[in-house]
Chain A
Amino acid sequence: MQQRSNKRTLATLVLVAFGMFGFGFAMVPLYDVFCEITGLNGKTGGRVAATEFNSEVDENRLITVQFDTAVDSGLPWDFEAEKLSMKVRPGELAEAYFTAKNQLSEPVVGHAVPSVAPSVASLYFAKTECFCFTQQTLAGNEEKEMPVRFMVSPDLPENVKVLTLSYRFYRSAGAEVAGAEDKSKDISEVSSDGTG
Chain B
Amino acid sequence: MSVTATELDHHDDHDHKPSGFLDRWLFSTNHKDIGTLYLVFSLVMFLIGGSMAMIIRAELFQPGLQLVQPDFFNQMTTMHALVMIFGAVMPAFVGLANWMIPMMIGAPDMALPRMNNWSFWLLPFAFAMLLSTLFMDSGAPAAGWTLYPPLSLQGGNSFAFVIFAIHLMGISSIMGAINIIATILNMRAPGMNLLKMPLFVWTWLITAFLLIAVMPVLAGAVTMLLTDKFFATSFFNAAGGGDPVMFQHIFWFFGHPEVYIMILPAFGIVSEIIPTFARKPLFGYVSMVYATASIAFLSFIVWAHHMFTVGMPLGGELYFMYATMLIAVPTGVKVFNWVSTMWRGAMTFETPMLWALAFVILFTIGGFSGLMLAIVPADFQYHDTYFVVAHFHYVLVTGAIFAIIAGVYYWLPKWTGNMYNETWAKIHFWWSVISVNVLFFPQHFLGLAGMPRRIPDYSVQFTEFNQWSSIGGFAFGLAQVFFAIILIHACYYSKKKAAAQSWEGAKGLEWTIPSPAPHHTFSTPPKINKDQLAAGHLD
**Interface residues of A, Cβ cutoff 8 Å to B:** 2, 5-6, 9-10, 13-14, 16-25, 27-28, 31, 35, 38, 40-43, 72, 111, 113, 117, 119-120, 168, 170-171, 173-174, 191-196
Contact of B155 (CB < 8 Å), options: A20, A42, A72, A192: A192
- A194 near B182 (CB under 8 angstroms)? no
- A20 near B216 (CB under 8 angstroms)? yes
- A194 near B156 (CB under 8 angstroms)? yes
- A31 near B157 (CB under 8 angstroms)? no
Residue of B nearest to A117 (CB): B311
Within 8 A of A (CB), among B95-126: 111-112, 115
Instruction: Give the residues in chain A near B115, CB-CB below 8 Å.
Output: 10
Interface range on chain B: under 10, 10 to 19, 20 to 34, or 35 or more?
Answer: 35 or more
Within 8 A of A (CB), among B147-195: 154-158, 160, 174, 177-178, 181-182, 185-187
Residue of B nearest to A18 (CB): B216
Q: Is B217 an interface residue (CB 8 A)?
A: yes
B172 CB, min distance to chain A CBs, angstroms: 12
Q: Is B3 an interface residue (CB 8 A)?
A: no
- B182 near A13 (CB under 8 angstroms)? yes
A148 CB, min distance to chain B CBs, angstroms: 19
Instruction: Give the residues in chain B near A14, CB-CB below 8 Å.
Output: 178
How far, in angstroms, from A42 to B215 measured CA to CA in the complex? 30
Q: Is B213 an interface residue (CB 8 A)?
A: yes
How far, in angstroms, from A35 to B232 measured CA to CA in the complex? 23
Contact of B219 (CB < 8 Å), options: A10, A13, A24: A24
Q: A27-B249, A72-B239 are in contact. List 11 more A-B contacts (CB 8 A).
A: A10-B112, A10-B178, A18-B216, A21-B220, A23-B216, A25-B224, A40-B313, A43-B243, A192-B155, A194-B156, A195-B156
Within 8 A of A (CB), among B207-232: 212-221, 224, 232
Instruction: Give the residues in chain B near A25, CB-CB below 8 Å.
Output: 220, 224
How far, in angstroms, from A97 to B157 measured CA to CA in the complex? 40
**Interface residues of B, Cβ cutoff 8 Å to A:** 111-112, 115, 136-138, 154-158, 160, 174, 177-178, 181-182, 185-187, 212-221, 224, 232, 235, 238-241, 243, 245-246, 249-250, 253, 311-313, 316
- A24 near B250 (CB under 8 angstroms)? yes
How far, in angstroms, from A68 to B25 measured CA to CA in the complex? 62
Residue of A nearest to B154 (CB): A191
Instruction: Give the residues in chain B near A22, CB-CB below 8 Å.
Output: 220
Instruction: Give the residues in chain A near B215, CB-CB below 8 Å.
Output: 17, 20
- A196 near B157 (CB under 8 angstroms)? yes
B493 CB, min distance to chain A CBs, angstroms: 40
Instruction: Give the residues in chain B near A72, CB-CB below 8 Å.
Output: 239
Instruction: Give the residues in chain B near A31, CB-CB below 8 Å.
Output: 243, 246, 249
- A13 near B217 (CB under 8 angstroms)? no
How far, in angstroms, from A49 to B466 measured CA to CA in the complex? 56
How far, in angstroms, from A19 to B34 measured CA to CA in the complex? 28
| Residues A16 and B220 in contact in the complex (CB < 8 Å), given A9-B185, A195-B136 | no
A119 CB, min distance to chain B CBs, angstroms: 7
- B239 near A170 (CB under 8 angstroms)? yes
Instruction: Give the residues in chain A near B157, CB-CB below 8 Å.
Output: 192, 194-196
Residue of A nearest to B137 (CB): A194
A173 CB, min distance to chain B CBs, angstroms: 7
Instruction: Give the residues in chain B near A27, CB-CB below 8 Å.
Output: 217, 220, 246, 249-250, 253
How far, in angstroms, from A17 to B158 measured CA to CA in the complex? 27
B265 CB, min distance to chain A CBs, angstroms: 18
| Residues A9 and B239 in contact in the complex (CB < 8 Å), given A2-B187, A21-B219 | no
| Residues A17 and B174 in contact in the complex (CB < 8 Å), given A113-B238, A120-B313, A192-B155 | yes
> Quick one: which of B177, B221, B240, B243 has the most chain A CB within 10 A?
B243
Instruction: Give the residues in chain B near A120, CB-CB below 8 Å.
Output: 313
| Residues A20 and B137 in contact in the complex (CB < 8 Å), given A5-B186, A31-B243 | no
How far, in angstroms, from A195 to B157 measured CA to CA in the complex? 6
How far, in angstroms, from A194 to B156 measured CA to CA in the complex? 8
- A13 near B216 (CB under 8 angstroms)? no
